[in-house]
A and B are shown apart, each in its own frame.
Chain A
Amino acid sequence: MRKKNDNILKSLTIVPISFWIFFFVAIPLLYIVFISFMQRGDDGSIVYIPTISNYTRMANSLYIKVFWDSIIVAFITTLFTLVFGYPFAYFATRIKKYKIIIMMLIMAPFLTNSLIRTYGWIVILSTEGMLNHIFLKIGIVKEPLKLLYSYGAVMIGMIYTMFPFMVLPLYNSIDKLDKAYIEAAKDLGASKWETFRTVTIPLTMPGIVAGCILVFIPSVGLFFIPDLMGGSNVMLIGNLIRNQFLEANDWPFGAALSIVMISLSLILILVYVKIIGKKLDAEVF
C-alpha cells in the first residue's frame, strides 16, 4: 500500500518536471540548434535553407577576440570570487552565533532586481559619482577618474553579482566538514597552513567545483553588466548574441553564436572537472 503511494507521489513530482524540461529547455535548445543552420532573409526573417555559413563566419579575428575576452572575464570573475569567497565562507562557518545573519546578508541582494543593483554601481563609479566625489573632496585626485565603461568596471560588477553563487556552495561544504579531520591533521603534526592545504581544501573540493561552475557558466554569457558598465568599450559574447537577436535581426547567426558559447563552456567545465578529479586521487603532497 505504502509502496503504491510512493510511486504515485514519485510520478506526481517527476512528470511535471519532465514536461517542464522538455517544453522549456529541450525544445527551445533544439530550435536554436535548428535555426543556427538556416539563413537570414534580407528583411531579417529566417529563410529555411540549410547552411553552415553562420559557423564559418565566426572564424574571424574580431569574433575570436570576443570569445577570448568573454572567457578571460569569466575566468577572472571565477578566480576572484573563489579567492574572496573561500575565506569569507570559512569564517562565516566559524562564527556560530551570527552565521545565519551573515548568510542572510549574502542572500539579501537577491531580493532586489540585479539590474537595479547594477545601476547602483553606476551611481558609485560614474565620473560624477560618489567615489569620485569623495576622492576629489579628500584631494586624492585633481581630475575625476574614468572608472566606468572599462573592463575594470565590468569585472567589479561581475564579481559583485556572482559572489553569492560562489559563497553558498563553499559555505555548505565547509560547514559540513567534520572538525575531527582537522584535529586529526593537527594531532599528526600538521601546522595550520599544512592542515588547510592537505585536509581542508581537498575535503571541501566538491564545494569549490560547484561554486566555480555556478559562477563560470553564467559569467560567460552575462550581457547586461558589460552593457551597462562597459558601454561601447566592452564587447563580450553575451552582448554580441543579444545584438544579433534584438538589433541586427540575424537570428541564425545569434543562434550559432549561442551554440558555440554553450559548447565552449561545457568543454571547459569538463576539462576542469577532469583535472580536479585527477588531483583528488593524486597525493596532496
Chain B
Amino acid sequence: MSEIILEMDNIIKKFENQEVIKNISLSINKGEFLTLLGPSGCGKTTTLRIIAGFETPTSGSVLLEGKHVENKQPNERNVNTVFQNYALFPHMNVFDNIAYGLKIKKVNKVEIKKRVLEMLSLMQLEGYEKRKTDQLSGGQKQRVAIGRALINDPKILLLDEPLGALDLKLRKQMQVELKKLQKKLQITFVYVTHDQEEALNMSDRIAVMNEGIIEQIGSPEDIYERPKTKFVASFIGESNLIKAKIKKIDEENISVEFGGYEMNVDYKNYDNLKNKESYILIRPENIEYTSTKPQISKPPYGLKSTIKEHSYIGSIIKTTTELEGGQEIIVYDYDKKKDLIGIGSEVWVYFEPEDVVIVEEGE
C-alpha cells in the first residue's frame, strides 16, 4: 500500500449560490500521476485551486501529509502550480523567473545560481537564462513554468491544462517529456485536462469528473475498458451505448435484454445491483460487420443493420450503421484495403460477448 500524500474529504465548494463542487473525496498517493479529467465546468480546475490554496472549500477538509491545510494560504503550503497560460513574470528574464521561489525564501546567491543552472539543464534550457519571456516559444515557456515550480521541491506539482496552448505535435512531444520527468523525479503530479487522450497517455490514475462530482477513479485501462457510468463511457473514447435491461445475474453470467434480444455477457465486474437504467457498451473497435447473412441472426453473432455513412479519418474508416430499431452503431475499420460496402446496403454487425461492458446511468 503506497503512502497517501493528499487527502480531500467531502469537499463542497459554492460560489455565491452555485455549487461547483458537490462532494468530492479523493486520496492521492505519493509519487503518482493523477489526472482530473472532465468537460469544462465540471469542477476540475476548482478542485486543483483548492489543493493549491487559491480557493477555500465551503466545507470539507484537505490534508497534506496528514496536516490540515484547507485554510492555509498558497504561500504557506508546499505545493506549486504550473498555470494554464504559464503566468511567467514578464518583467523578469528566464533565470529570475526560475529563481523567484528561492529568492523569496532568501536562499544565498551562490546556491540559487547553482540550483537554477541545474534546473535549466534538467529542462533543456541551457543558455536561455538571459532571455526575456516574450522571446521564448510556447514549448520553452512551458518548460520555464515547470522549472519555476519544480525548483521549490514541491510535495505536489499541480498542472492546470498546461499543454492547452501548444499545437498538436508539440503537445504530444511534451506529454512524453512530462511523463518521463515525473518518473525521473518521483514527484506527485496532479494534472487537469479535458483531453482524454492526454489523460490516458500520461496518468497512473484518472479521476473522471462531471458536474462537481467524481464519476469514476481508476487506471486508464479501468476507465476505458470498464467504465462504470454512461458519462464515463461516452466521455472517454467513442462508444456504442445501447439501453438494456438486466435479466439475471449469477456466478457465471449476466443475462441482458436489449432491442428484443436476450444474450449472456461475460462481464464480471458488475457490482452495482441497484435497479437503475443500464446500458451495454461496445467500443467501435470491437465490432465488425459483414454482408453475408450469419447462420444465427441474433447478437452477438449477427444483428441486421443498414450502412448509413462511411467517414475516412486517416488511420481508420469510421462506419455508422443503423439497427432496425433506429439505434446507431459505430464501427471502426482498420483494414482500409477492403472494398467499402455501399451506403444503404444491408449488413450484419457482430462482436464477442467478452467485449461487452455494462454501465449504469449515473447520478
B104 x A190 contact (CB < 8 A): yes
Interface residues of A in 164-214 (CB under 8 A from B): 178, 180-181, 183-191, 194, 198-199, 202-203, 205
B52 on the A face (CB < 8 A): yes
A83 on the B face (CB < 8 A): no
Report the count of interface residues on B (CB-CB < 8 A). 26
* CA gap between A285 and B102 in the complex, in Å: 11
- Minimum CB–CB distance for B40 against chain A, Å: 18
A183 x B152 contact (CB < 8 A): no
B103 on the A face (CB < 8 A): yes
Quick one: which of A178, A188, A190 contacts B80, CB cutoff 8 A?
A188
- A residues near B148, Cβ cutoff 8 Å: 188
- Minimum CB–CB distance for A191 against chain B, Å: 6
A183 x B83 contact (CB < 8 A): yes
Quick one: which of B54, B75, B84 contacts A189, CB cutoff 8 A?
B75
B75 x A190 contact (CB < 8 A): yes
Interface 9-mer from B58-66, B87-95, B135-143, B260-268:
B87-95
- A residues near B85, Cβ cutoff 8 Å: 180
- Nearest chain B residue, comparing its CB with the CB of A205: B91
Quick one: which of A178, A190, A198, A285 contacts B87, CB cutoff 8 A?
A178
* CA gap between A202 and B90 in the complex, in Å: 10
A188 x B91 contact (CB < 8 A): no
* CA gap between A181 and B83 in the complex, in Å: 10
A130 on the B face (CB < 8 A): no
- A residues near B100, Cβ cutoff 8 Å: 185, 188, 190, 198
B101 on the A face (CB < 8 A): yes
- Minimum CB–CB distance for B144 against chain A, Å: 12
A280 on the B face (CB < 8 A): yes
- A residues near B73, Cβ cutoff 8 Å: 186
B305 on the A face (CB < 8 A): no
- Nearest chain B residue, comparing its CB with the CB of A182: B87
B89 x A186 contact (CB < 8 A): no
B81 on the A face (CB < 8 A): yes
* CA gap between A198 and B53 in the complex, in Å: 20
- B residues near A188, Cβ cutoff 8 Å: 75, 80, 100-101, 104, 148-149, 152
B70 on the A face (CB < 8 A): no
- Minimum CB–CB distance for B15 against chain A, Å: 14
- Nearest chain A residue, comparing its CB with the CB of B92: A284
Quick one: which of B75, B89, B152 contacts A199, CB cutoff 8 A?
B89
Report the count of interface residues on A (CB-CB < 8 A). 22
A283 on the B face (CB < 8 A): yes
A187 x B91 contact (CB < 8 A): no
- Minimum CB–CB distance for B345 against chain A, Å: 52
B74 x A203 contact (CB < 8 A): no
A181 x B87 contact (CB < 8 A): yes
Quick one: which of A183, A189, A203, A280 contacts B104, CB cutoff 8 A?
A189
B83 x A184 contact (CB < 8 A): yes
- A residues near B88, Cβ cutoff 8 Å: 184
Considering residues B74, B90, B96, B105, which has the most beta carbons from chain A within 10 angstroms of its beta carbon?
B74
Interface residues of A in 230-281 (CB under 8 A from B): 280
B80 x A284 contact (CB < 8 A): no
Quick one: which of A191, A280, A284 contacts B75, CB cutoff 8 A?
A191
- Minimum CB–CB distance for A128 against chain B, Å: 53
- Nearest chain B residue, comparing its CB with the CB of A186: B74
A180 x B87 contact (CB < 8 A): yes
* CA gap between A236 and B245 in the complex, in Å: 93
- Minimum CB–CB distance for B229 against chain A, Å: 33
Interface residues of B in 45-83 (CB under 8 A from A): 52-54, 73-75, 80-81, 83
- A residues near B74, Cβ cutoff 8 Å: 183, 186-187
A189 x B87 contact (CB < 8 A): no
- In the complex with contacts A183-B54, A186-B75, A187-B52, A285-B89 CB distance below 8 A: no
- Minimum CB–CB distance for A199 against chain B, Å: 6
- Minimum CB–CB distance for B95 against chain A, Å: 10
* CA gap between A187 and B79 in the complex, in Å: 8
- B residues near A280, Cβ cutoff 8 Å: 91
- Minimum CB–CB distance for A241 against chain B, Å: 40
- Minimum CB–CB distance for A208 against chain B, Å: 13
Quick one: which of B83, B103, B104, B105 contacts A180, CB cutoff 8 A?
B83
B83 x A284 contact (CB < 8 A): no
* CA gap between A205 and B89 in the complex, in Å: 14
* CA gap between A189 and B154 in the complex, in Å: 11
- Nearest chain B residue, comparing its CB with the CB of A199: B89
- Nearest chain B residue, comparing its CB with the CB of A180: B87
B75 x A203 contact (CB < 8 A): no
* CA gap between A37 and B298 in the complex, in Å: 109
Q: 20 new A-B pairs (CB below 8 Å) besides A184-B83, A188-B149?
A: A180-B87, A181-B90, A183-B74, A183-B81, A183-B83, A184-B87, A184-B88, A186-B54, A187-B52, A187-B53, A187-B75, A187-B81, A188-B100, A188-B104, A188-B152, A190-B100, A190-B104, A194-B104, A202-B91, A280-B91
The 24 sampled A-B contact pairs (Cβ below 8 Å) are A180-B87, A181-B87, A181-B89, A183-B74, A184-B83, A184-B87, A184-B89, A185-B100, A186-B75, A187-B80, A187-B149, A188-B75, A188-B80, A188-B100, A188-B101, A188-B149, A189-B75, A189-B105, A199-B89, A202-B91, A203-B90, A205-B91, A284-B91, A285-B103
* Chain A interface (Cβ < 8 Å from any Cβ of B): 178, 180-181, 183-191, 194, 198-199, 202-203, 205, 280, 283-285
Of all A-B residue pairs in the complex, the 5 with the closest CB atoms, nearest first, are A180-B87, A188-B101, A184-B87, A186-B74, A202-B91
